[in-house]
Amino acid sequence: MSSKSFRTLVENWLAAYDALFSALEALPAEKRETPGICGDWNARQLVAHLAGWHYEAIRRYAEYAAGDPLDKTYDTDAFNAIQVEAREHLSWEQTLDDLREAIDILHAQAQTLSERHAAADPRYAAWLDGLIKEARHHGQQVTAWLPDDS
């Protein structure tokens, strides 16, 4: 992978989350805590889950940079439950801010990767690809949850 393609991936990831935030910000307050936007989750829990995966990406990026050669597998349902529960005390705005902060940290990490480093370890790109897919998938769910006049 060239640096340009990794940089393009970073730009696509940021754009996907900009679009998701636009949809989330259009969500009426009365729908933010209503279960059902994604399974049993409400919109705040959906955002909490995304923040959790971003913080995990931050952790994994640091491990890759330190030379960790191992790929980790996840029990996705258990991981998601832990992330949602860990953020249950946060308000809507605090949950959005938590995700924004995680995105800012991961962006800073991605910006420090040299062309050679990004190309040498496809796990960096794989995380961004996964996060983009999550943003697009959940963005569709949020958009479907918006009132027809939005």
DSSP structure string for 41-108: B-HHHHHHHHHHHHHHHHHHHHHHHTT--PPP---HHHHHHHHHHHTTTS-HHHHHHHHHHHHHHHHH
| Residue 51 pLDDT level (bands cut at 50, 70, 90) | very high
Q: Which two tokens stand for residue 94?
A: 């605090």
Mean per-residue pLDDT, 83-106: 98
Q: Report, in this order, helix, strand and coil percent for the chain, each rounded to 5.
A: 75, 0, 25
Q: Is residue 2 over pLDDT 50?
A: no
Which of 25-29, 55-59, 72-76, 112-116 bottoms out in mean pLDDT, i.e. has the lowest? Answer: 112-116
Q: Which two tokens stand for residue 134?
A: 């999550």
| Residue 149 pLDDT level (bands cut at 50, 70, 90) | low
State the chain's mean pLDDT as an integer. 94
Could you tell me the domains of the chain?
3-145 (1.20.120.450)
φ, ψ for residue 43 (rounded to 5)? -65, -35
Quick one: what percent of the chain has pLDDT higher than 90? 87
Q: Which amino acid, one-letter code, is at 37? A: I
Q: How many other C-beta atoms can be found within 10 angstroms of the C-beta atom of residue 47?
A: 27
The pTM assigned to this predicted structure is 0.93
Evaluate whether 30 touches 150 at the Cβ level (below 8 Å): no
